[in-house]
């Protein structure tokens, strides 16, 4: 933790913890005492109200806590209490292969042959339509069109046009539903990534996996319902920071946040018992801490105390479940052949994809893998090739592996970034080199399995992949469709917070995309 | 779960202003038939239709809607706010004039917006869906699926007792109580053995999916499963079952999906499964079955 710049910043940074040991509002300088009193009375009221809202869950918990059982869920409805899903699900799990930084659609899935004859011509103003550009290209004197230097070919019975950068993914063409008309409002990475991971450009909202954990609970209670992994990068250019607000539980109880698995021998920090401490001692310690936390809850009534109890319990269960999960020694040679040699190196995208399959086998609801460094403003031809090489085989291997094990039907796999890129070159355009700026108006993603119709493409862009000409898919529509596959009606699946029925899809219109449902 | 209070007129107007290009639409059907009539059918016609005509109003045809009630017209073309129909459906739930009345569910935001757009657009019988870009789609009316299993709710206490006794979960597939239960063992597969499957016999007709991957069940457990008449899907990945055991499943007429990944099952075990009348998927990766990659159709 960095030292807080503002006195309130410390409170904010510790809001998921308890404030008893922290400086209180009385310690703040230059605040009139009357205001402090008002603040504290509001605080008390907030706690009281939150406690009232959870009284019912507590009643349910009391029945769960037979004898020495110590599972605490007071800030979460008891399993099944939400009576979800609304309808029988198609997908039981999802694996989101997040390509952070945003792969260009021109070198991946949106084939634009007409651009080949327009090399270095100016982008017609009628196409751009006065759109405000980012500061990175707004000052360019011209917007010269940059066709893809990579070739495309059709693959499979589906006839998907796919770039030569993805020879492995081309083999699973008939399993893929390629969306070519996804769009967003965000034009910079952080708001764009937040919007696609949480449904809102502003931090503080629950991410998709947190909503699923909240609504559907865990299939395997020995593991978190929501797991995140970040991947080593084959090169580093314009790397975006990733932070846990992308996988936070927002206003949902903290136990719905993702557990981030680290690469290497210690996938969850501080999970192992130190020398001399055995499981029984650890159990007794946690029981004692939980009892203290229960007393704290009785006294203060902050529902997050119960989230803390639940997290201790999850950590205890993970002491057993995580070593088994991360022990790849029983994987046969065929696994390494499929995922490629990098899968043996912890932290690579290939390793993480294999881990995602193991998580899916064990029932983890939502696994999100981040692969960064797709942000190719310059030197795109060279760098996108490095990234494609990192992403291609493992993505193919994961889909193939899930399919042959009978898991793909109920596992939704998603591949994509946070926005698109421009058809014109950022910086100098040559026959061999160019860059592409951010472009929110259209981008491509693919999905497979989990009740999505395989072998189709949905949506169309114009010849410049600048504007959508058919079947736009807003991120809200994407989220509504994902929830639908899990049997959840996005319009009804809500959580009351700050006086509103908050939803992943927000309040603007969102549609399940019927045409891509299997 | 969501609070379906109708929006205030000003909010509805703001929402209308905010409309973005949503669903692309097919051009043939009239907007009234495609969007408006289904809403009236759903919420209004039981009291204002062929059976009852409260206030001498019928809302079961375009002509009747435009004719109005004994007290006057319900719809003023072009003027939602001046239309009694729109006023009634946008009143607060506590207002005694709100429609539908008697505590029936109020119209959703999207339904209200559809009516508003239709009246604002002239309350036309002939305008087509494409004339209302940005109009919300109606939530899909799906034909009810056939019952998969008996209603589990009367057995809730028994189900909870079995869950506690056998350390398994018996989870409803959905809010539809006849969608059946999923037998879930992922939290502790090592504790699920043949005795569990035998012990679940009393509620077996409720189970439609059996997630048994990595459990300790054997052929003896499958003999118990042979009586689970409503079972649609069974996952036996990495269990000790053999060809002899899985043949016990050959009488399960509802069985659609069988996963035998990484089991010792061979050709002799698979032949009777292929004859199952409802089978769609048979997963055989990692077995000794000669046509090992069968995914089924």
Contact residues, B window 2-21, toward A, CB-based 8 Å cutoff: 2-3, 18-21
- Candidates B5, B148, B187, partner chain A, best to mutate (most A CBs within 10 A): B187
Pick the residue from chain B with its C-alpha nearest to A361: B213
Residues B122 and B238 in one domain: no
Give the count of Cβ contacts less than 8 A between chain A and B: 92
Residues of A in contact with B187 (CB under 8 A): 218-222, 363
Closest Cα to residue B42, out of B84, B3, B94, B99? B99
8 Å CB contact between A195 and A184 = yes
ipTM of the complex: 0.82
Query: Cβ–Cβ of A361/B140 closer than 8 Å?
Result: no
- Per the structure, how many domains does chain B have? 2
Question: Which pair of structure tokens corresponds to residue A432?
Answer: 């061999």
**Burial environment of residue A456 by CB neighbours within 10 A (0 to 12, 13 to 18, 19 or more):** middle
Interface contact flag, A406 B172, Cβ < 8 Å = no
User: How far does B70 lie from chain A, in Å, by closest CA?
Assistant: 37
B291 shares contact with chain A (CB less than 8 Å): no
CA-based nearest distance A101→chain B, Å: 27
Q: Is residue B136 part of a domain?
A: no
CB-CB under 8 Å, B21 with A89: no
Q: Nearest CA of chain B to the CA of A3: how many Å?
A: 41
B22: which chain A residues are within 8 Å (Cβ-Cβ)?
Answer: 509, 511
Q: CA separation (Å) from A171 to A96, A157, A458?
A: 20, 11, 19
Q: What is the pLDDT of residues A77-98, one digit of tens each?
A: 555 567 789 999 999 999 999 9
CA angle A484, B13, B140 (to 5 degrees): 25
B22 → closest Cβ in A405, A406, A509:
A509
Tens digits of residue pLDDT in A382-414:
999 999 999 999 999 999 999 999 999 999 999
Specify whether the CB–CB gap between A263 and A217 falls below 8 A. Answer: no
B122 shares its domain with B158: no
Chain A closest-CA separation from residue B214 CA (Å)? 9
- Whether the CB of B280 is below 8 Å from some CB of chain A: the reply is no
- Domain co-membership, B157 together with B127: no
List of chain A residues whose C-beta atoms are within 8 Å of the C-beta of residue B213: 361
- For residue A518, the distance in angstroms to the closest alpha carbon of chain B comes to 13
Chain A residues in contact with B176 by the CB 8 A cut-off are 87-88
Q: Is residue B3 part of a domain?
A: no
Question: Is A511 in contact with B179 (Cβ distance < 8 A)?
Answer: no
CA distance B121 to B107: 20
- Among B65, B98, B131, where does a domain finish? B131
B147 inside domain:
no
Residue A157 has pLDDT above 50, yes or no: yes
Is B219 a domain residue?
Answer: yes
| Chain A residues with beta carbon closer than 8 angstroms to that of B235 | 406
User: Which residues in B lie closer than 8 A to residue A472 (C-beta atoms)?
Assistant: 21, 24
- pLDDT confidence bin for B291, thresholds 50/70/90: low
Whether residues B157 and B266 share a domain: the answer is yes
The whole-number average pLDDT for the span A110-119 is 97
Closest residue of B to A82, CA-based? B1
The answer to whether residue B11 scores a pLDDT higher than 50 is: no
Q: Does the distance separating the beta carbons of B140 and A492 come in below 8 Å?
A: no
| Contact residues, chain B, for A470 at CB < 8 Å | 24
For residue B228, with 0-12 CB atoms within 10 Å meaning exposed, 13-18 middle and 19 or more buried, which class applies? buried
Residue of B167, B175, B181, B258 to mutate for A, most A C-beta atoms under 10 A: B175
| Model pLDDT, residue A303 | 76
- Select from A82, A222, A404 the Cβ nearest to the Cβ of B285: A404
* CA pair distance A413, A405, nearest whole angstrom: 15
Closest chain B C-alpha to A88 CA, distance in angstroms: 5
Residue with token string 């080199």: A433
| Domain assignment of residue B271, yes or no | yes
Average the pLDDT over each of A104-108, A167-171, A284-288 and give the range with the smallest value: A284-288
Instruction: Provide the pLDDT confidence category of residue B6 given band limits of 50, 70 and 90.
Output: very low
How far away is chain A from the Cα of B105, in angstroms, using its nearest Cα?
14
Is B187 an interface residue toward A (CB < 8 Å)?
yes
Q: Identify the domain containing residue B181 by its residue range.
A: 153-283
Do residue A88 and residue B2 have CB atoms under 8 angstroms apart? no
**Are B126 and B28 in the same domain?**
yes
Determine, yes or no, domain membership for B1.
no
Can you give the CATH number for the domain in which B261 is found?
3.80.10.10
Q: Is A204 helix (H, G, I), strand (E, B) or coil?
A: coil
Calpha distance A248→A236 (Å, rounded): 25
What's the rounded mean pLDDT across residues A467-476? 95
Q: Mutate one of A317, A405, A458, A494 to test the B interface: name it (highest B CB count within 10 A).
A: A405
| pLDDT tens sequence across A26-59 | 677 777 777 776 666 555 555 544 544 444 343 3
* Nearest neighbour of B261 by CB, restricted to A83, A405, A501: A405
What pLDDT, on the 0 to 100 scale, is given for residue A374?
97
Q: What is the mean pLDDT of chain B?
A: 86
Q: Is residue B190 part of a domain?
A: yes
Task: Check if B31 contacts A (Cβ < 8 Å).
Answer: no
pLDDT of residue A55: 40
Tell me if the pTM is above 0.80.
no
Which residues in chain B touch residue A89, judged by CB atoms under 8 angstroms apart? 173-174
Using the Cβ of B171 and the Cβ atoms of chain A, whether some distance falls under 8 Å is answered with yes
Q: Are residues B185 and B268 in the same domain?
A: yes
* Cβ-based contacts of B137 with chain A (< 8 Å): 511
Which tens digits make up the pLDDT trace of A243-259? 889 999 999 988 899 99
Q: Are residues B37 and B115 in the same domain?
A: yes
**What are the phi and psi torsion angles at B128 (to 5°)?**
-100, 170
Model confidence at A24, pLDDT cuts 50, 70, 90, reads low
The distance of A507 to chain B (nearest Cα, Å) reads 9
Domains and CATH numbers, chain A: 93-275+319-516 (3.40.720)
Residue A11 has pLDDT above 60, yes or no: no
Residues in B closer than 8 angstroms to A503, CB to CB, are 2
Residue to substitute from B18, B117, B186, B192, interface A, most A β-carbons within 10 A:
B186
Partners of B283 in the β-ladder? B259
**Angle (nearest 5°) at CA A487 between A481 and A489:** 65
Put simply, the answer to whether A85 touches B20 (Cβ < 8 Å) is no
B167 and B50, same domain (yes or no) = no
Indicate if the pLDDT at residue A18 is higher than 80: no
The answer on B18 and B85 residing in a single domain is yes
The reply to whether B289 falls in a domain is: no
Distance from CA of B55 to the nearest CA of A (A): 33
* H or E element that contains A422: strand A420-425
Query: Over A453-511, what HEC string results?
Result: CCCEEECEECCCCCCEEECCEEHHHHHHHHHHHCCCCCCCCCEEECCEEECCCCCCCCC
Nearest CA in chain B to A499: B3
* Nearest residue to A490 (alpha-carbon basis) of A505, A473, A501, A475: A505
What are the contacts of B10-19 at 24+ separation with CB within 8 A? Answer: B12/B90, B12/B112, B12/B113, B12/B116, B15/B109, B15/B113, B16/B113, B16/B116, B16/B117, B18/A508, B19/A509, B19/B134
Best mutation site among A406, A484, A506 for testing chain B: the one with the most B CBs within 10 Å? A406
Tell me how close the Cα of A221 comes to any Cα of chain B, in angstroms. 5
Residues A279 and A517: their CA atoms lie apart, in Å, by 47
pLDDT value for A119: 97
Q: Cβ A511–B22 below 8 Å, yes or no?
A: yes
Kindly state whether residues B160 and B95 are assigned to the same domain: no
The helix/strand/coil state of A312 is: helix
Q: Which residue has the tokens 């007709």?
A: B205
Residue A137 confidence class, pLDDT cut points 50, 70, 90: confident
Mean pLDDT for A263-276 is 80
Whether B129 has a pLDDT exceeding 60, the answer reads yes
Reduced 3-state DSSP string for B222-256? HHHHCCCCCCCEEECCCCCCCHHHHHHHHHCCCCC
Smallest Cα distance from A474 to chain B, Å: 9
Q: Do B193 and B241 fall within a single domain?
A: yes
Alpha carbon separation from A99 to A216, A414, A416, A446, A450 (Å, rounded): 26, 10, 5, 11, 20
Nearest CB to A409 within list B179, B184, B281: B281
Report the pLDDT value the prediction gives residue B1, as an integer from 0 to 100.
40
Q: Are residues B125 and B13 both part of a single domain?
A: yes
Closest A-chain CA to B185: A220
Task: Indicate if the alpha-carbon torsion angle A333, A334, A335, A340 is positive or negative.
Answer: positive
Cβ–Cβ gap B259/A471 under 8 Å: no
């Amino acid at each position: 933790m960095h030292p807080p710049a503002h006195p309130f910043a410390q409170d904010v940074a510790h809001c998921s913890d308890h404030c008893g040991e922290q400086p209180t509002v009385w310690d703040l300088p230059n605040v009139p005492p009357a205001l402090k009193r008002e603040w504290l009375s509001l605080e008390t009221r907030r706690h009281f109200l939150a406690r009232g809202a959870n009284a019912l869950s507590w009643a349910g918990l009391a029945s769960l806590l037979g004898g020495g059982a110590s599972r605490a869920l007071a800030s979460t409805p008891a399993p099944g209490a939400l009576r979800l899903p609304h309808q029988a699900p198609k997908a039981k799990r999802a694996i989101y292969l997040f390509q952070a930084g945003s792969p260009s659609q021109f070198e991946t899935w949106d084939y634009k042959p007409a651009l080949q004859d327009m090399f270095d011509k100016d982008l017609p103003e009628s196409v751009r339509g006065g759109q405000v550009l980012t500061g990175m290209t707004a000052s360019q004197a011209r917007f010269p069109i940059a066709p893809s230097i990579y070739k495309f070919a059709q693959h499979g019975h589906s006839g998907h046009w796919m770039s030569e950068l993805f020879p492995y993914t081309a083999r699973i063409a008939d399993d893929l539903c390629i969306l070519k008309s996804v769009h967003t409002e965000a034009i910079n990475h952080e708001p764009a990534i937040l919007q696609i991971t949480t449904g809102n450009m502003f931090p503080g909202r629950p991410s998709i996996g947190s909503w699923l954990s909240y609504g559907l609970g865990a299939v395997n209670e020995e593991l978190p319902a929501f797991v995140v992994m970040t991947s080593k990068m084959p090169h580093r250019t314009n790397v975006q920071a990733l932070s846990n607000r992308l996988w936070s539980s927002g206003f949902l109880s903290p136990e719905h946040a993702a557990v981030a698995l680290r690469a290497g021998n210690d996938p969850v920090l501080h999970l192992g018992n130190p020398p001399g401490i055995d499981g029984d001692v650890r159990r007794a310690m946690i029981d004692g801490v939980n009892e203290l936390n229960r007393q704290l809850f009785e006294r203060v009534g902050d529902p997050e105390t119960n989230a803390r109890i639940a997290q201790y319990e999850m950590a205890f269960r993970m002491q057993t479940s995580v070593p088994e999960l991360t022990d790849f020694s029983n994987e046969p040679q065929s696994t390494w052949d499929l995922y490629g040699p990098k899968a043996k190196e912890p932290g690579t995208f290939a390793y993480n994809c294999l881990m995602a399959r193991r998580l899916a086998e064990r029932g983890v609801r939502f696994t999100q893998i981040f692969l960064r460094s797709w942000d190719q403003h310059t030197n795109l031809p060279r760098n996108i090739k490095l990234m494609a090489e990192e992403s291609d085989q493992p993505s193919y291997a994961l889909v193939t592996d899930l399919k042959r094990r009978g898991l793909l039907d109920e596992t939704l796999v998603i591949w994509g970034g946070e926005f698109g890129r421009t058809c014109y070159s950022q910086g100098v355009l040559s026959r061999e080199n160019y860059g592409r700026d951010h472009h929110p108006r259209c981008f491509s993603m693919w999905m497979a399995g989990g009740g999505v119709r395989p072998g189709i493409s949905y949506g169309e862009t114009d010849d410049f992949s600048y504007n959508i000409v058919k079947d736009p898919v807003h991120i809200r529509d994407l989220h509504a469709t994902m929830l639908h596959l899990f049997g959840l009606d996005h319009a009804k699946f809500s959580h009351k917070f700050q006086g509103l029925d908050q939803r992943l899809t927000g309040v603007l219109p969102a549609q399940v995309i019927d045409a891509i449902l299997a | 779960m969501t609070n379906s209070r109708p929006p205030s007129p000003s909010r509805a107007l703001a929402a209308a202003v905010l409309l973005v290009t949503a669903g692309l639409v097919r051009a043939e059907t009239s907007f009234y038939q495609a969007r408006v009539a289904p809403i009236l059918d759903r919420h209004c016609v039981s009291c204002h239709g062929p059976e009852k005509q409260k206030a001498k109003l019928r809302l079961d045809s375009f002509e009747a809607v435009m004719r109005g009630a004994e007290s006057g017209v319900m719809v003023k073309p072009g003027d939602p706010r001046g239309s009694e129909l729109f006023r009634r459906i946008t009143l607060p739930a506590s207002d005694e004039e709100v429609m539908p009345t008697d505590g029936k569910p109020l119209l959703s935001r999207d339904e209200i917006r559809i009516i508003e757009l239709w009246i604002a657009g002239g309350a036309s019988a002939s305008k087509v869906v494409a004339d209302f870009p940005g109009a919300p789609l109606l939530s899909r009316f799906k034909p009810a699926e056939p019952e998969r299993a008996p209603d589990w709710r009367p057995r809730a206490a028994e189900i909870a007792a079995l869950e506690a006794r056998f350390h398994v979960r018996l989870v409803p597939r959905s809010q539809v109580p006849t969608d059946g239960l999923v037998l879930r063992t992922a939290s502790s597969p090592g504790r699920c053995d043949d005795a569990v499957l035998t012990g679940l016999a009393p509620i077996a007709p409720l189970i439609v999916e059996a997630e048994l991957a990595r459990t300790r069940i054997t052929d003896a457990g499958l003999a118990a499963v042979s009586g689970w008449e409503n079972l649609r899907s069974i996952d036996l990945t990495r269990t000790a079952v053999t060809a002899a055991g899985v043949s016990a499943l050959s009488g399960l007429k509802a069985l659609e999906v069988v996963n035998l990944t990484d089991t010792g099952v061979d050709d002799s075990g698979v032949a009777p499964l292929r004859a199952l009348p409802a089978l769609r998927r048979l997963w055989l990766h990692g077995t000794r079955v000669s046509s090992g990659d069968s995914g089924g159709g």
